[in-house]
Amino acid sequence: RSAILGSMTKRIARTLLALTTAVALLVPAAVFARDVSPPSPPADGELALVVDVIDGDTIRVERSDGSVERVRYIGIDTPEIGHAHDVPDEPFGRAATGVNEDLVADEIVLLERDISDRDPYDRLLRYVWAEDDAGWLMVNAELVALGLADVHAYEPDTRHHEWFEQLRLDAIEAGVGMYDTMPEAEPESRDLLEIIADLVGWD
């Protein structure tokens, strides 16, 4: 009997090891690496005046040469607002736009470029830094941290993607912004012991 129990224990251990390995391969590395340090404002950034906030991730700025440009925030995507009267807002679109306005409207901001200068719509692609009493903060990251922006790795402009992903995971754990209304996961129809029993061949 002890030999049978020993054999069953080894099979369960091997099965659990295989399950753990499979989960580790499926879960993004950012889940396990939660120690990405926040970046500092760039020394070579461009100062510009925000003259209009279009939505949560797009603004219009006046550059030092007097030209006015649209700026699209790199690495994030906020819910859309309906610019036409018959187009409804997406949930949290107005909230994201409001936070963006609070941070940058009529302010001097610091624009940080990654690899690309413009997107296909001729908008400048930038990380946007705003200054407050505590110093400079990156608006792209603040929107993610508040649960008001999703994170996307738009190649080749991915300098701060790992940091954004860490902030997104923190926002999900905290249940803030658009993550506070996420439905709970459906309960499993079978418990873990039943699954293990099937895997090791128990009846």
pLDDT tens by residue, the chain, 203 residues:
544 445 444 554 454 444 444 433 344 433 444 578 899 999 999 999 999 999 999 999 999 999 999 999 999 999 998 866 667 888 999 999 999 999 999 999 999 999 999 999 999 999 999 998 889 999 999 999 999 999 999 999 999 999 999 999 999 999 999 998 655 544 444 455 555 555 555 55
CA–CA distance, 81 with 78 (Å, rounded to integer): 9
Catalytic residue of the set 46, 69, 80, 131: 80
What confidence score (pLDDT) does residue 56 get? 97
Catalytic residue of the set 123, 142, 165, 168: 123
Residue 94 is among the residues annotated as catalytic for this protein? no
Which residue in this structure is represented by tokens 């999703």?
Answer: 150
Residue 123 is among the residues annotated as catalytic for this protein? yes
Given phi > 0 = left and psi -120 to 50 = alpha, else beta, which region is 197?
alpha
- Cis omega (within 30 of 0) for bond into 38: no
Q: Tell how many helices (H) and how many strands (E) occur in the chain.
A: 6, 8
What separation in angstroms does the CA of 156 have from each of 63, 118, 161? 24, 12, 11
What confidence score (pLDDT) does residue 189 get? 45
Q: Which two tokens stand for residue 59?
A: 């603004």
Catalytic residue of the set 72, 126, 142, 165: 72
What confidence score (pLDDT) does residue 54 get? 97
CA–CA distance, 162 with 193 (Å, rounded to integer): 36
What confidence score (pLDDT) does residue 87 get? 74
Q: What amino acid is encoded at 36 in this protein?
A: V
pLDDT tens digits, residue range 88-135? 888 999 999 999 999 999 999 999 999 999 999 999 999 999 998 889
